[in-house]
Amino acid sequence: MICFIGQYPMLIIFILPDGGGLSAPEKQLRLAGQAERIGRAIDLAGGTIRASQLLDLNRGTLLKWRKGEARIPLDEAALLAREAGVTLDWVATGADAKAVDAPTQISRFSVDAAGAPVMQPPDADALSVMREFFPLHRLDPQKTGIVRVIGDAMRDQLPEGSLAIIDMRVTIFNGDGIFALGRPGAVLFRNVRFEGDSVRLSADDAKHHADVVLKGSDAFDFKIWGRVAMALTRK
């Protein structure tokens, strides 16, 4: 990093601590702790495969970092920390551990007059989860939302009052599953099933909610919010 003292530019270089001045056992413990935090940061960033893609490195290099067999360069540590949602200081020294262990929230969404999702304030029925929740379920924390289910169209899988956790990266029908669909003033949940060159949308309550079949470039009057990743139901 370059900064100016008076009119003179100064180059400041940060390095991860290597335990200089410590005894051999102390240095080994510090490196082991750093390797453990690097491993957790890799998990928080989406796992070894995604982290290796982000850093443009082979997985063997990341494995060496996890085991403490190689030191991670500063620029790659900074990128990894950013993707994991942690601080570089925590990766290097373990400082600010409470922020890493603190729960994060999945925002709740409501529907606007056009059928588009609207994020609600953080205190409005948000769901608190630990950071590991997202890589564990292969979700992006910036593209995940919750919607409270209204109605009994999907009563077998999404009973009324359930919280549907939605992967909002999915904006097209890309396979079978349950999708959240926005219409003016309402959110619908429907089973999506591919049948040859058509897509069938169906409800669990088929008696009161007719199937919709879309073919080719058929137009539809709803917005695809995403695929339902899981649901929290009341007992």
The CATH number for 26's domain is 1.10.260.40
State how far the Cα of 58 lies from the Cα of 111, in Å rounded to an integer: 43
Q: What pLDDT does 31 receive?
A: 63
Q: What's the pTM? A: 0.62
Q: What is the mean pLDDT of each run of 10 residues along the chain (235 residues)?
A: 43 46 48 81 83 87 87 84 82 72 79 88 71 79 89 92 92 91 91 90 92 78 90 74
Q: Which domain holds residue 49?
A: 2-100
- 126 and 142 share one domain: yes
Three-state DSSP class for 101? helix
- 207 and 123 share one domain: yes
Q: What pLDDT does 166 receive?
A: 95
Handedness of CA 230, 158, 127, 145 (dihedral sign): positive
Q: What pLDDT does 101 receive?
A: 65
- 18 and 51 share one domain: yes
- Please report, for the domain that includes residue 193, its CATH number: 2.10.109.10
Three-state DSSP class for 144? strand
How many domains in the chain? 2
Single residue among 47, 77, 100 that ends a domain in this structure: 100
Taking Cα atoms as reference points, which of 173, 186, 179 lies closest to residue 157? 179
- 91 and 167 share one domain: no
State how far the Cα of 32 lies from the Cα of 148, in Å rounded to an integer: 44
